């Protein structure tokens, strides 16, 4: 990846890392499915009035919107509501990099490079190290929901890569039209109209600020930039950079929520960053007889 695209990938990791703290703030006032639905309502309106729909079939909006909105965020919000800490959630969700690489190999025939596989092993060693230090007191079902949410993100990445939208920002605006109805319908069924009405009637400034951040900064800006990288590079290569999210997520959770960071966590963060760096290295082809430009007329 070019240096400026690496910088963009790191910026996305910062945005998404802080996002877990913001989600935790919003969940203090809003039921999880309602919160997830409102996230996409805010992201879609009024943006669709000013952003032209990309000229790609509607099926791609659905194939990305359902796993991304209902699968990833619906399950993530429920898991965090059930007790998953913000820092640990930022860690577990980055298993999507593994799911993305595996799904890309099966569905897109993208063959992972040796350095990419090695980098993934190193990075996931760091993730496992953090999981050992943080995961012992977390609810098992909440953890499982976050793992499934990571799988849904991986599936959405494959859809985004296959769709290849010409304008990733416009695509994310219109994708945001897909999740609200399923999420709000599920909220009415499982959380109840009374709980939803009470939450909406007592919206706090913190909840409104959370909605603004996750709708516009995390969803439209973050996923818009993410989609551009996915369109330009292999899905597995781009997904590696999401492994930078846990260090930013855990440090922001420690700063704003008081979650504790240990020496083990710091070592694990170094492993994650090192794994991402290793996975992003491309071996240059050595010029041989078959790669040396030939004069015109020589075959």
Sequence spans of domains, the chain = 3-279
Q: Which residue has the higher pLDDT, 24 or 281?
A: 24
> Three-class SS of residue 35?
helix
Q: Which residue has the tokens 């900064």?
A: 217
Rounded to an integer, what distance in angstroms lies between the CA atom of residue 279 and that of residue 123? 9
Residue 285, pLDDT above cutoff 50: no
Question: How confident is the prediction for the chain on average, in pLDDT?
Answer: 86
The CA distances from residue 262 to 35, 123, 248, 268, in Å, are 31, 18, 14, 10
Asked whether 226 and 47 are in contact (CB, 8 A), the reply is: no
Q: Which residue has the higher pLDDT, 135 or 209?
A: 209
Residue 130, pLDDT above cutoff 80: no
Whole-prediction pTM: 0.83
Per-residue pLDDT tens digits for 64-94:
999 999 999 999 999 999 988 898 888 888 8
Q: Could you tell me what percent of the chain has a pLDDT over 70?
A: 91
Mean pLDDT value across residues 24-29: 94
DSSP class of 129: H
């Amino acid at each position: 990846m070019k240096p400026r695209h690496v910088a963009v990938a790191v910026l996305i990791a910062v945005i998404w890392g802080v996002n877990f703290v913001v989600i935790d703030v919003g969940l203090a006032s809003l039921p999880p499915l309602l919160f997830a639905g409102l996230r996409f309502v805010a992201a879609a309106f009024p943006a669709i009035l000013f952003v032209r729909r990309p000229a790609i079939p509607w099926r791609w909006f659905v194939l990305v919107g359902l796993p991304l909105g209902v699968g990833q965020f619906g399950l993530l919000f429920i898991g965090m509501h059930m007790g998953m800490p913000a820092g640990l959630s930022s860690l577990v969700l980055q298993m999507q990099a593994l799911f993305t690489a595996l799904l890309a190999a099966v569905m897109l025939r993208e063959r992972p490079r040796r350095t990419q596989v090695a980098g993934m092993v190193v990075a996931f060693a760091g993730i496992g190290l953090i999981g050992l230090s943080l995961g012992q007191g977390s609810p098992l079902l909440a953890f499982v929901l976050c793992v499934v949410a990571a799988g849904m993100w991986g599936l959405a990445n494959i859809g985004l890569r296959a769709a290849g939208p010409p304008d990733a920002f416009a695509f994310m605006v219109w994708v945001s039209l897909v999740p609200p109805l399923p999420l709000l319908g599920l909220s009415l069924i499982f959380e109840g109209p009374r709980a939803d009405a009470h939450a909406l009637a007592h919206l706090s400034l913190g909840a409104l600020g959370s909605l603004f951040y996750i709708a516009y900064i995390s969803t439209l800006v973050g996923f818009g930039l993410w989609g551009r990288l996915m369109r330009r590079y292999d899905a597995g290569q781009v997904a590696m950079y999401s492994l930078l999210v846990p260090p930013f997520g855990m440090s922001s959770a420690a700063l704003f929520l008081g979650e504790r960071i240990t020496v083990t966590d710091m070592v694990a963060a170094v492993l994650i960053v090192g794994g991402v760096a290793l996975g992003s290295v491309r071996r240059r082809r050595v010029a041989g007889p078959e790669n040396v430009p030939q004069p015109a007329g020589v075959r």
